[in-house]
Amino acid sequence: MTVPDATALAAPGNAVSAAPAVRFIGERSAYWRLLIRGAVLLAFTLGIYRFWFATDVRRYLWSNTDVSGDTLEYSGTAFELLMGFLIAIALLIPLYVGLFLAALSLGEGGELISVLAFPLLFFLGQFAIYRARRYRLTRTVFRGIRCHQTGSALRYAVCAMFWWVMIVLTLGLAYPFAQSRLERSKMRHTYYGNLQGRFEGSGFSLFLRGFPMWLLVIGPLVFAIAYSVTSVDWNAVASAASGATSVEGFIGQLESKFPSIYVAAVLSIGAVAASIILAVTLFPVFQAMTLRWWLSGLRFGGLTVRSRLRASQIYGAYLRFLWYGLLFTFAAGLIGSIGFVAYGFALSHLGKTPGSEIAGAAGAVVFYVAVMLGFSTIYQGTVKLALWRCGAESAEFDGAGALDRVRAQGAPGSPVGEGLADALNVGSI
Amino acid sequence: MTTGPAIYFDGLTSARHDVTVEATPEVLRIRAADGAEIAEWRYQDLRHQSAPDHVLRLGRTGDTVLARLEVHDPTLAHTIDEHADTLDRTGAAERRVRTRVIVWSFAAAVSLVLVGIFGLPALADRIAPLVPLSVEHKFGLAVDAQVRSMLNPGSSKGPFECGLAAVEKPGRAALDNLVKRMETAAGLPIPLKVAVVRRADANAIALPGGHIYVFQGLINRTRSADELAGVIAHEIGHVANRDGTRSVLQAAGLSFLFGVLLGDFTGGGVVVIAARSVMQKAYSREVETAADRYGVRLMGKIGGDVRAFGSILGRIAGGEPGISILQNHPLTKDRIAAVNAAAGDAPAPAQPLLTPAEWADLKQICG
């Protein structure tokens, strides 16, 4: 479940009480223990352990999210996830064999298959995302009542496909409208018992708030492109390129034919760098803004949610990530260089053999995997947890009484969607 | 008997009931605040549900609804735990199951790695000779397009392939002459397609379907037609032994295996994987040695200098540490020794494979 999805379920609460509607009661140290243990086991089992790891993480997050005295419960099991994955693999193998055979029989056009397969896999991925959401909702129990999701995953996948094409075509400007539409269709089909959800966040209001950021990030890029198209003398560049025999010759010719080349280069590169730096520094603001907008758009029957999430909370999480990441990089660098020196020492004494080369390569692979898992663990322990926790605790309710008279409805959904999402690399917590 | 407060949800509605629980030795009795009995749960039906650390959350097996009983009182929770064998409050049973899961997952991972290291190459060895030539041909075309786009450095000095411009035509003719003699002697079941491409590293590669690419960098560093012929003969050895097909099968199998394992099915299309595997030339020592032996025999058949391959090999591998593409190959010294041993004491041929004029043309194949 994505972080926002679950906080939606934390929506029920007691409007009368002065205490915050949602509290996160988990201890950070327990979560870190879970993450580190999981990362080590993931490495040793080449990822097979991920079904148990994901289940542990969900259990921790769900059961430590407290809504006026009652905590959520995640009732899914790792074996369900494993079965879902195996079934998904069985469904995907024919597809892959088909693509393989198509690539073979096309001969020269075979590489096109890779291109054509992308939209197909993307579509399947969106289908899987919707189905996986259904699985997670039906394994989410609150006050003895489970959530569930209706609606057609195919229909959702078609909509998602359309909106993602729009997002790409408009350089991201369509993102708020896409989010609002897709969230509407997801929430309309989301139920807590017999209480139907809906989403009232307006795409336009998110657009208005996000547009200045978009301008700051895209603006310099557009400037760089426009500037290099209009003021760079491309004829001079082309003639220099065709007339020169070496890189030095090319630059020499360019300097004589187009003297302001350095100004142009510095301006364009500077603009692109500015765009990247702005994108990185503004990302937490964007994330906080989207999460706040999303939470404030959630409705369950008569219940409305408001969120006062502050961007500084998300910045704090990213700063912690950077700090821990820095410490980890330092430690990993130290261990890596000791290993490298030891390897070199062993080589010089034992001589270079194919065995020693394989051992060196294997050591490098193990080191790489350990470093990647380390960063992923730090990210989950800082940013991911903060998004969940701050998102949940920022929620305020109106009309929470609607949650006290909910009747049970819905049946458990199949885990195949989770398996598909896993196999297609679109899975999440 | 222990009695204590608890929170009860009946599974039908979300209403929260503050109840009193009586943990008798026989049964768990749930009473409302006014003393009326709400439910009676048998201990063998009780199941532990995920909850925060300080809460015992109970459900029942075989229940059609998700009725829940939440006990916060540690004494009461302890008593219930004592009475019910099915409960696992300390998590000891869960830990036992988890240990088994970890052991088996680890065993599965080891087994899959072993399949990847030993099983797949053996499988590819058996399957590669069975792949019909028509299939290999088509596959060669598909991989060829991909490899070309990956290799092409985008030089502005002319098309990727050398020998097309008017000044390069004589070089192309000389190459064709050389390749034709080798192809006739080799008697391959598929036609060879040899091309020189504009790429600076000193290397040559063979793809499935008889495609051989000689890089411009290699042409520049060869000192005689026989040295070039030696490299081409080695690559023809790969074609004859169908090593390209074999490595593609192996790479496809490996990516599939790890796709299953790591749950990553999106790691590029088959053709891309195949092209990459051919380019990496991660052939084993045995495969390279076999291609070397084949090359030596072929050079002998066409009356070329068998030792020439050894000298170009030594020059490429020795001269530019780091840049050498041959670093994937088995130790070059051993290979050169093996080539020279295979050559025996056969005298060097009286004349080179190409006339000095033809060789001069061939050196200019990239303009």
**pLDDT band at residue A107, thresholds of 50, 70 and 90?**
low
Q: Can you tell me the distance from the alpha carbon of B67 to that of B65, in angstroms, rounded to the nearest whole number?
A: 6
**pLDDT band at residue A9, thresholds of 50, 70 and 90?**
very low
Q: State the smallest CA–CA distance between residue A59 and chain B in angstroms.
A: 6
Q: How many CB pairs under 8 A join A and B?
A: 171
Of A45, A63, A111, Cβ closest to residue B105: A45
Nearest residue of A to residue B268, measured between CA atoms: A114
Per the structure, the count of domains in chain A is: 1
> For an interface test with B, which of A23, A111, A192, A422 has the most B Cβ atoms less than 10 Å from its Cβ?
A111
Look up residue B195 and give its two tokens.
């091309």
Rounded average pLDDT over A121-149: 94
Look up residue A15 and give its two tokens.
């409007």
Tell me the residues of chain A between 139 and 168 that have a Cβ less than 8 Å away from chain B: 141-146
Would the CB atoms of A46 and B113 count as touching at under 8 Å?
yes
Q: Can you tell me the distance from the alpha carbon of A64 to that of A24, in angstroms, rounded to the nearest whole number?
A: 6
Nearest residue of B to residue A120, measured between CA atoms: B266
Of A114, A242, A408, Cβ closest to residue B272: A114
Q: State the smallest CA–CA distance between residue A32 and chain B in angstroms.
A: 16
Rounded average pLDDT over A205-223: 91
A53/B contact by beta carbon, under 8 A: no
Residue A243 lies in a domain: yes
What is each CA distance from A366 to A78, A361, A369, A372, B118, in whole angstroms? 26, 9, 5, 10, 20
Decide the pairing of beta strands B27-31 and A303-307: unpaired
Instruction: Give pLDDT, residue B283.
Output: 56
> Which pLDDT tens digit goes with each residue over A296-318?
999 999 899 999 999 999 999 99
Instruction: Give pLDDT, residue A362.
Output: 74
Residue A230 lies in a domain: yes
Give ∠ CA A318-A39-A126 in degrees, rounded to 5: 70
Tell me the residues of chain B between 194 and 233 that have a Cβ less than 8 Å away from chain A: none
Instruction: Give pLDDT, residue B265.
Output: 46
Q: Can you tell me the distance from the alpha carbon of B297 to that of A355, in angstroms, rounded to the nearest whole number?
A: 30
Tokens 């496909």 correspond to A161
Output the pTM of the full model.
0.81
- The secondary structure of A195-257 as a DSSP string is EEEEE---HHHHHHHHHHHHHHHHHHHHHHHHHHHHHS-HHHHHHHHHH-SSHHHHHHHHHHH
Second CATH level (architecture) for the domain B2-89: Roll (2.30)
Instruction: Give pLDDT, residue A425.
Output: 74
Instruction: Give pLDDT, residue B236.
Output: 92
Rounded average pLDDT over A382-389: 94
Is residue A71 helix, strand or coil? strand
Tell me the residues of chain A between 178 and 197 that have a Cβ less than 8 Å away from chain B: 193
Residue A282 lies in a domain: yes
Residue A241 lies in a domain: yes
Is residue A409 helix, strand or coil? coil
Instruction: Give pLDDT, residue A191.
Output: 96
> Which pLDDT tens digit goes with each residue over A396-406?
998 888 888 89
Instruction: Give pLDDT, residue B322.
Output: 37
Would the CB atoms of B145 and A111 count as touching at under 8 Å?
yes
Of A46, A47, A145, Cβ closest to residue B66: A145
Residue A229 lies in a domain: yes
**pLDDT band at residue A13, thresholds of 50, 70 and 90?**
very low
Instruction: Give pLDDT, residue A97.
Output: 78
Residue A374 lies in a domain: no
Helix (H) or strand (E) holding A277: helix A261-296
**pLDDT band at residue A11, thresholds of 50, 70 and 90?**
very low
Instruction: Give pLDDT, residue A16.
Output: 44
Would the CB atoms of A73 and B98 count as touching at under 8 Å?
no
Instruction: Give pLDDT, residue A99.
Output: 79
Residues in chain A: 429
Q: State the smallest CA–CA distance between residue A216 and chain B in angstroms.
A: 33
Please state the domain extents for chain B: 2-89, 131-363
**Tens place of pLDDT for every residue, chain B, 367 residues?**
789 999 999 999 999 999 999 999 889 999 998 889 999 999 989 988 999 988 999 999 888 889 999 999 999 998 998 888 888 777 788 889 999 999 999 998 888 878 877 888 888 888 888 888 888 888 788 778 777 877 777 655 667 888 888 888 888 889 999 999 999 988 888 888 898 888 887 888 888 888 898 888 888 888 888 889 999 999 999 889 888 888 878 777 777 776 666 655 444 444 455 555 554 545 566 788 888 889 988 988 888 888 888 888 877 765 444 333 444 445 677 778 888 887 777 677 778 888 888 888 888 888 7
* Three-class SS of chain B: CEEEEEEEECCCECCCEEEEEEECCCEEEEECCCCCEEEEEEHHHEEEECCCCCCEEEEECCCCCCCEEEECCHHHHHHHHHHCCCCCCCCHHHHHHHHHHHHHHHHHHHHHHHHHHHHHHHHHHHHHHHCCHHHHHHHHHHHHHHHHHHHCCCCCCCCCECCCCHHHHHHHHHHHHHHHHHHHHHCCCCCCEEEEECCCCCCEEECCCCEEEEEHHHHHHCCCHHHHHHHHHHHHHHHHCCHHHHHHHHHHHHHHHHHHHHCECCCCCHHHHHHHHHHHCCCCHHHHHHHHHHHHHHHHHCCCCCCHHHHHHHHHHHHCCCCCHHHHCCCHHHHHHHHHHHHCCCCCCCCCCCCHHHHHHHHCCCC
CB-CB neighbors (< 8 A) of B108 in chain A: 45, 48
- ipTM reported for the complex surpasses 0.90: no
Residue A88 lies in a domain: no
Q: Which residue range forms the structural domain that includes residue A260?
A: 217-296
Instruction: Give pLDDT, residue A153.
Output: 95
Residue A264 lies in a domain: yes
Instruction: Give pLDDT, residue B327.
Output: 43
